[in-house]
Amino acid sequence: MKRAPLTYCPPSRTKEKLARLREIERSFHVRAFGEELARVNLELTIEERIRYVGWMRELARRNGVPEAKRFPYNIEEDLEHPGNE
Amino acid sequence: MEPAELQTFYERLVRRLRDRGVVCAITSGLACVHYGVAESTKDCDLLCQTGSFGQLLDLLSTTQLRGDDCCYRGNISPPLDERWHRGGWTSHFEWGGGENAVTLDVFGHPWRESFPWGQGVMGLYASPRTVAEMKRTNRDKDWAFVTALGVRMLEAGEQEGWLHIFDADTLMEWIGQECCPPELTARRPALRFAMQGDSRTAGALNAERKLWEELDRRRIKMLEKHLRQYFPAVRKARVGRKLRLVDDHAMRVELAMEYLPENPLRDYGLEKFVNEAKATLVSSAIVPENALTWLPDAMIYFDWLNK
């Protein structure tokens, strides 16, 4: 299983139509996320994707990329150090 | 902790809650990875029905990870209490600390919820529709995820996916292949434009996105205003004390009663909130005034705050 199924109904479209729609989807993923992530999103299994995301995060950490701050914690530091506001 | 191990830990947590009859589901970034859109987050966002918070708190109190107890994350987290979650507050937990902390963010409701999230749960995960609505934030990176989820829904024959496509090229290409149902074009002017080949399609999609970004910005600002009163009080009450989760919880409830209004957005006025966001878009020249007629009804995403 590459991606979690959203339906258990058999496909109602022809193979050709489905292929065309997947082409549109791939083209969007390439434009939005880049070639490599498009492959990760569309070709890897869930387990492989999870491993890839972990590797990506670890690589970013080792190279000093700060973790994305998320609400509400992005204000905590500001509140502890009001000069940063 | 290995990513797969982490995923198993979160999924096991959800299974244990389900065994207790709790309706809950993993959402946001981890759900995106599950549905085939890689996101680098390691945080778990959990939707849990507000009536089951007692059971969730019990489970968190007794769940250790690598020998660490679960505790509230920092001083800023509101309590896991349905009174505040029914008004859009969220609660934040962690095991361990520092950069290796394993985190859990709990939502009683998604911030934007056009239908009850519990009705769309798929396995251990929130539906793509719920996840896509939650991703309509003021963070630039989230918007590609929204469209990617919309496309997956359409591919699976879920017509609601039409409401989540924000990329003009993708929308035009898909419309070249399949028809959008009239009830959805009626709900979203950008779809009507796209069906008619109208050159305003991209502008309408952009106006819609800008509205969601502005609404999210305003919502956060509003919550922050109250948290600025609450946070120092929590910090003061916790200083020099190592509280068990249940005691920390009781203390936060007490302080929240003093400093956090239960439903600040409803108190402010939902219509006023949406109208002011629209007015800002025009006054700051982000969208032209006539673009306001290209926007879908945003109020339906906040109706849950009135219940």
CATH number at residue B83: 3.30.460.40
Is residue B49 domain-resident? yes
Query: What's the sign of the alpha-carbon dihedral A15, A17, A21, A24?
Result: positive
Question: Domain count of chain A?
Answer: 1
In a domain, A73, yes or no: yes
Give the separation between CA B142 and CA B45, rounded to whole angstroms: 15
Tell me the whole-structure pTM to 2 decimals. 0.94
Task: Please indicate if any CB of chain B lies within 8 Å of the CB of A30.
Answer: no
Report how many domains make up chain B.
1
**CA-closest candidate to residue B41, choices A34, A84, A49:** A49
Out of A12, A28, A47, closest to residue B157 by CB: A12
Name the closest residue on chain B to residue A59, using Cα atoms.
Answer: B40
Is the CB of residue B153 less than 8 Å away from at least one CB of chain A?
Answer: yes
User: Between the CA atoms of B117, B119, B123 and B128, what dihedral angle is there, to the nearest 10 degrees?
Assistant: -50
Q: Does A10 fall in a domain? A: no
Does residue B84 form part of some domain? yes
Residue B34 in domain:
yes
Q: Where are the alpha helices (DSSP H) in B64-200?
A: 82-85, 128-134, 142-155, 168-175, 182-187, 189-196
The answer as to whether B11 is a domain residue is yes
Question: What is the mean pLDDT for each group of 10 consecutive residues in chain A (85 residues)?
Answer: 80 92 97 97 94 92 79 52 34
Q: Please list every residue in chain B whose beta carbon sits closer than 8 Å to the beta carbon of residue A54.
A: 2-4, 42
Residue A5 located in a structural domain: no
B268: Cβ contacts below 8 Å, ≥ 6 apart: B222
Mean pLDDT, residues B15-36 taken together: 96
Residue B75 in any domain: the answer is yes
How confident is the model at residue A72, as a pLDDT? 54
Its domain, for residue B97, covers 3-117
Q: Is residue B38 part of a domain?
A: yes
- Highest mean pLDDT among B44-48, B96-100, B227-231 belongs to B44-48
* A9 domain-assigned: no
B222 falls within a domain: no
When scoring A25, A37, A43, A58 by the number of chain B Cβ atoms within 10 A, the one with the most, hence best to mutate, is A25
Any domain includes B233: no
Averaged pLDDT, B197-223: 96
In this predicted structure, what is the pLDDT of residue B100? Answer: 83
Instruction: Look up the domain containing A22 and give its range.
Output: 15-84
Average pLDDT of chain B is 95
- Give the pLDDT band of residue B160 (cuts 50, 70, 90): very high
